[in-house]
Amino acid sequence: MNCNSRMLTTVLGMVLSLSVAKAQQEPKEAWTIDECVSYAVENNIQVQQSNLDQKLALSNRKQSFWNTYTPSLSANSSYSWNFGFNIDPVTNLPSSVTRRTFNLGVSGNLILFNAFQNQRSLRQSNLTYLAQTYTTQDIENDIKLNVASAFLQVLLNKEIKAVAEEQVRVTDLQTRRMKQLVDAGARPKGDLLQLEAQLARDNQNLIATDNQVTISRLQLANLMQLETPSDFRVASPDLEIPGTEYMARQPEYIYQTALEQQADIKSAEASVLSSEANVDVAKANYYPTVSLAFGAGSNYSSQVEEILDQDFSQQLDNNFNQFVGFNLNWTLWNRYQLRNQSQTARINLTRAQLNLEQTKNTLRQAVFQAHADSKAAYNTYLAAEKAVEASEESFKYAEDRYEVGALNQFDYENAKNSLANAQSEMLRAKYDYIFKIKVLEFYLTNQVNL
């Protein structure tokens, strides 16, 4: 390798190293709310467990289908050596000759009548699978709402941090101006010391708000079960204040709409229907079962081969036999097992019906509470807006008086802090109102969107 080649290799290596280092330092793309929700739903352990339950229900449904519409088939074969006195399975004659025997057969059974037990079991398994599907959806909906709430909390804390940063900027600017006035002998040094103390307090508050952003971001990452929360960043969408059209609807109307589409209601309703089918299955056990039995087979014996000079294939052909018939099975007494099964099925049906009513009651309370909360949040937000407007006017007036020396440092800082508190409270009211409206929207549309 010549000198130029070594130099080129060195330069390329440095460029590659710098590119890798830069790529490692650059933060990952900020996550949107949709990305957060999708990741949380996909990786949540509870959802994964529910998906496994759904797969088991699907497997049971398939088994019920095959039990209903297909016969059972089985094949059997044996090869043995017989010693001593016994019955030849081919000739059915007693013999003490040592011999080899071979048997081959196939048999089947097809249920013709069992009081529609298989059909009812198939219906029950279909409904059980449907209920589990809705259960999975309900778990996913809860996760979506929780992620949306945590996402909004991050946005709120980021905006409160921005207010704290503005407080630091304003105080720092005032401190610089005051230092110039003090150096010029126009203001006493005590005013500068008060501003420096206030700047320290504002910086302390900024650190606290930044810590709240970090905590809320980590809480969202943990809710998503993110493996590397240290690099996790949240995008800041431009959220508009929702209108009041959802609040204008009566809570009873929202409740009736939610009854038709909420996954937990549908799951409970499917469970009731599944329990009703299970009661029918238990009743069918009291009736007899009629089935069609059929089969075919053949056998071979070495003794027959020696005596009648029939080889293996000839014996299988000569001994080939078939059968077909009907079986009747009717349980007359099994120590009250059928009665107990029937009672258990009816108890489970009552339990499912009560669970449905409880789910409806819970939904009704949640809808009415959400409607009341959204109205209260909206009124709180309007009041907070007015408080900010009043605080801004008050601070502007205080700032003008402070500039001409007509207002002392203590009253000026009170006006500035009052404005910051009003802005923070308005932000809290804003995001609280947004989330409360989104909850109402969820009950009406079964969707979580920001």
pLDDT tens-digit map of 251-267: 999 999 999 999 999 99
Looking at the fold, whether 204 and 345 belong to one and the same domain comes out as yes
The pLDDT value recorded for residue 22 is: 37
Q: Which of 63-77, 90-104, 222-236, 425-439 has the lowest mean pLDDT?
A: 90-104
Task: Identify whether 13 is part of a domain.
Answer: no
**Residue 274 sits in the same domain as residue 150:** yes
Angle CA(345)–CA(351)–CA(356) in degrees, nearest 5?
Answer: 125
Please indicate, yes or no, whether residues 129 and 179 belong to a single structural domain of this protein.
yes
Distance in angstroms (rounded) separating the CA atoms of residues 98 and 430: 96
| Residue 6, in any domain of the structure | no
The DSSP annotation for 164-213 comes to HHHHHHHHHHHHHHHHHHHHTTSS-HHHHHHHHHHHHHHHHHHHHHHHHH
Pick from 84-93, 237-246, 332-341: least confident:
84-93
Q: What is the mean pLDDT of the chain?
A: 86
Which CATH number does the domain housing residue 207 bear?
1.20.1600.10
| Pair 296, 332: CB distance under 8 Å | no
pLDDT class of 450 with cuts at 50, 70, 90: low
Q: Quick one: 186 and 149 in the same domain? A: yes
Q: What is the C-alpha separation between 420 and 445, in angstroms, rounded?
A: 37
pLDDT of residue 413: 84
Does some domain include residue 3? Answer: no
Q: Token pair for residue 448?
A: 């979580």
Residue 50 within any structural domain of the chain? yes
Q: Does 152 fall in a domain?
A: yes
Give the pLDDT score at 1: 46
Task: With cut-offs at 50, 70 and 90, classify the pLDDT of residue 381.
Answer: very high
> Quick check: is 253 in a domain?
yes
- Full domain range(s) for residue 314: 74-113+289-329
Instruction: Tell me which of 329, 359, 390 is where a domain ends.
Output: 329
Name which residue leads in pLDDT, 17 or 233. Answer: 233
Q: What pLDDT score does 410 carry?
A: 81
246 shares its domain with 311 = no
Residue 362: Cβ within 10 Å count: 12
Mean pLDDT, range 24-40, rounded to an integer: 76
The mean per-residue pLDDT over the stretch 174-180 comes to: 88
Terminal-to-terminal C-alpha distance of the chain: 61
Residues 387 and 424 in one domain: yes
In a domain, 15, yes or no: no
Least confident span in 5-14, 29-38, 157-166, 287-296: 5-14
Tell whether 252 and 393 lie within a shared domain.
yes
pLDDT for the residue numbered 348 = 94
What is d(CA 119, CA 449) in angstroms, rounded to the nearest whole number?
42
Single residue among 312, 329, 346 that ends a domain in this structure: 329
Residue 244 has what pLDDT? 87
Residues 231 and 306 in one domain: no
Residue carrying the six token digits 């609040």: 247
- What gap in Å lies between CA 341 and CA 280, rounded to an integer? 11
CA distance 385 to 115: 70
pLDDT of residue 80: 87
How far CA 35 is from CA of 20, 144, 253, in Å, comes to 26, 11, 32
What is the pTM assigned to this prediction? Answer: 0.76
In CATH, what number is assigned to the domain containing residue 314? 2.20.200
User: CA 115, 120, 121 angle in degrees (round to 5)?
Assistant: 115
Residue 106 sits in the same domain as residue 204 = no
Q: Which of 268, 299, 329 is the last residue of a domain?
A: 329
Question: How many separate domains does the chain show?
Answer: 2
My answer on whether 194 and 250 are in the same domain is yes
Q: Say whether both 59 and 122 belong to one domain.
A: yes
Residue 298 has pLDDT above 70, yes or no: yes
Whether 136 and 50 have beta carbons less than 8 Å apart is answered as yes
- What pLDDT is attached to residue 12? 34
171/104 same-domain check = no
The encoded tokens of residue 77 equal 């074969």
pLDDT-above-90 percentage for the chain: 48
Q: What DSSP character marks residue 93?
A: -
Dist. CA 338–CA 320, nearest whole Å: 42
What's the Cα-to-Cα distance from 155 to each of 160, 214, 280, 374, 383, rounded to whole Å?
9, 11, 54, 19, 21
Query: Is pLDDT of 326 > 50?
Result: yes
- The number of helices, as runs of H, and strands, as runs of E, in the chain is 12, 6
Contacts of 447 (CB under 8 A, 6+ apart): 441
pLDDT tier at 50, thresholds 50, 70, 90: very high
Averaged pLDDT, 334-363: 91
The mean per-residue pLDDT over the stretch 178-189 comes to 87
| pLDDT tens for each residue of 138-165 | 999 999 999 999 999 999 999 999 999 9
Structure token pair of residue 231: 């690099």
Query: Does 76 have pLDDT greater than 90?
Result: yes
Non-local CB neighbours of 119 within 8 Å, separated by 6+ positions: 68
In a domain, 294, yes or no: yes
Which token pair is 260?
A: 């038709």
pLDDT reported for residue 23: 36
What pLDDT does 308 receive?
79
Could you tell me if 281 and 351 are in contact, meaning their C-beta atoms sit under 8 angstroms apart?
no
pLDDT band with cut points at 50, 70 and 90 for residue 178: confident
Q: How far apart are CA 223 and CA 147, in angstroms?
A: 7
